Structure 1
Amino acid sequence: MIDFSPPESPFRVTYNGDFDISRAVTTPPGDAPSEAALKKELKRAVRDISRLQRRLHAHQHYAVLLVFQAMDAAGKDSTLRAAMTGVNPAGFRINAFEAPSNEEAGHDFLWRTTLRLPEKGRIGIFNRSYYEEVLIVRVHPEFLERQKLPRRLPIMERCEERYQSIRDHEAHLARNGTVILKFWLNISREEQARRFLRRIDRPDKNWKFSRADIEERRHWGEYMAAYEDAINATARPWAPWYAIPADSKPWMRLVVAQLVRDQLATLDLTHPTLPEVERAELQDYRDHLAAEL
């Protein structure tokens, strides 16, 4: 297995299956910088990502996959915008996965995301992902009816099978040069309530709110159990999970951007070197162009 040396962080989940979601913090440390300082550091991190992304694109030997999972209102969309603002849009692509279409439901659960994996030299971002198939499907097993699976299994047995499929899938990707970072944006139930209230109270945010948000909120405990099991089952050195405190958006955005930057910085990214014959041809072209000036 390729060792991509995932960035060290107090928020990186261990690989021994002892992640306790009840102990995962949702707020920044008490000595966190001011919001102005966080924004300044974020700009610096994004500049670094932009520079490293250009080298990634030129090197063409690695792809990078960033997976984002969270409860509603945790700030996935705004974090993606903040971390990628200033990065060449040709160098990355964001894919947001909603409920599967009829075509997608007619394939195995990894099919639709596999079609959107980043190619070498690019950064791919999954806003929700194949992990929905062991999260929302675990809380709502009735959703499996659309998938017309050949065997009826208890939902936990189904999830265990899918954990194995996900581990195999991510190991396969890593062996073939895809660097994977997975982020769980950990918002507290209280902060989610405050953000839902802002969506209700502000007319410009009403469109973000739906009755389904409240319905899913009633399953909070079930979702936390599903996240804990899925993260423990799939946290590996080649596909690490990071449980990022999400009650402060400026803090969360900076932590995510720094982790992406630090991972890119570990890769042996070099610009391609042309063979001697091609370099000699370049000199001939240069001499020809210079003679025209």
Structure 2
Amino acid sequence: MENFSLEDYKVTKQIKLSDYKTELDSFWDDDKKEEELDQLRNKLSEWQDIMYAHNRYGVLIGLQGMDTSGKDSLIREVFKEFNPRGVVVHSFKTPNSTELEHDYLWRHYLALPEKGKFAVFNRTHYENLLVTRVHPEYILNENLPGIENVADIQPEFWENRFEQINNFEKHITQNGTIVMKFFFYMSKNEQKKRLLKRLEDENHQWKFSSGDLKERGFWDDYMKYYEEILNKTSNEKAPWYIIPADDKDMARYLVAKIMWEELQKYPVNEPVLSEKDKANFEMYKEQLRK
């Protein structure tokens, strides 16, 4: 990975997923991957402390991928050195009754990071351009004007959602939220191996859901809609990165590396004490001694 380049993973032009690998050719062994990741997560943790003191930016990390692609374990491993108060993880599931009484982006606005903090969206607002494309009947739960049945959901509806989500991200980036979005690109065969492992390992059987098998049947549809999302919603201020996800250790390293490289572009510095405070240090010390 000495020749690491952001541009190899960043979506900056129209892409075809079939042109990307789901696993990199790596000469690193597992110990080397862990060593490199450890260095990065320590640097990220220190940067987060400085960002907290700077109090001008928040960071939103969006994670998308098929079931078993490694999102949960990545959160655990990449952010383990962070101050727990400095990172908040949101796992967005099927909208509940309260959330359905608002527009589909409402719950995501509520979960945006405070200045000085990281927020991780484990599944993101893009579920509204993904799962609902595969299962358009879910849109009916939103009780939208003019949408009485699936036949009422025309192509213009989806184009409007693309525009709305792009505007959402434009708004938050202009107001101090740094956005990075990661798509975990896993092969269908690798997912099969991981699902079988869940079934065969008693310690992991609780993770298995028959729903995973149902959604696996829509694999090609999901890939088609992921490709469309990547092409229509990646831009310089809210970029998408395609992460080869068949090797979990390497995927974690790549996400941490990309985060580190991107965050260096932002002018984040520790606050500087005023000259008045510096000049009065001795007086303050004397007051404390007394």
TM-score by length of 1: 0.93
Deviations 1:186-244 (A, max 9, x none): 11000000000000101111111111000000000100111011111100000000000
User: Which residue of structure 2 lines up, in the alignment, with residue 25 of structure 1?
Assistant: 21
| Partner of residue 72 from structure 1, selected from 60, 67, 72 | 67
Aligned residues: 282
Equivalent position of 1:144 in the other structure: 139
- Secondary structure of 1:52's partner? helix
Separation in 2 of the partners of 1:203 and 1:176?
A: 47
CA distance in 2 between partners of 1:179 and 1:102 (Å): 30
SS at match of 1:109: coil
- Aligned counterpart, 1:101: 96
- Give the alignment of 1:120-131 within 5 angstroms: 120-131=115-126
Structure 1 residues 270 and 109: alpha-carbon distance in aligned structure 2, compared to 1, 3 A threshold: same
Query: CA offsets, 1:84-143, max 9 Å, x none?
Result: 011111111111100000110111111001001001111111001110000000000000
Rate the CA distance shift 1:267–1:279 in 2: closer, same or farther, 3 A.
same
What root-mean-square deviation, in Å, do the aligned CA atoms of Structure 1 and Structure 2 show? 1.4
Counting only pairs closer than 5 Å after superposition, residues 13-92 of structure 1 correspond to structure 2 as: 13-14=11-12, 16=13, 18-29=14-25, 31-92=26-87
User: What is the CA–CA distance in structure 2 between the aligned matches of 1:146 and 1:55, rounded to whole Å?
Assistant: 43
- Matched with 1:10 is 8
Q: Which runs of 5+ in 2 are unaligned?
A: none
Q: Find the counterpart in structure 1 of residue 287 from structure 2.
A: 288
Sequence identity, in percent?
36
Residues 72-221 of structure 1 mapped to structure 2, 5 A cutoff: 72-152=67-147, 153-221=152-220
Mean CA deviation greater in 262-271 or 230-239: 262-271
The separation in 2 between residues aligned to 1:73 and 1:147, in whole angstroms, is 28
Contact 1:52 1:265 in 2 (8 A): no
Higher-RCO chain (CA-CA 8 Å, sequence separation at least 6): 1
3-state SS of paired residue (2:7): coil
Structure 1: unaligned runs, 5 residues or longer: 1-6
Question: What secondary structure is seen at the aligned counterpart in 2 of 1:203?
Answer: coil
Give the AA of the match of 2:268.
L
Which deviations, in whole Å up to 9, do the C-alpha atoms of 1:248-285 show, x marking residues without a partner? 00000000011112222222111112333344444421
In structure 1, C-alpha distance between the alignment counterparts of 2:154 and 2:207, rounded to whole Å = 31
Shift of 1:177: 1.1
Distance 1:220 1:156, change over 3 A: farther
The secondary structure found in structure 2 opposite 1:237 is coil
- SS, match of residue 167 in structure 1: helix
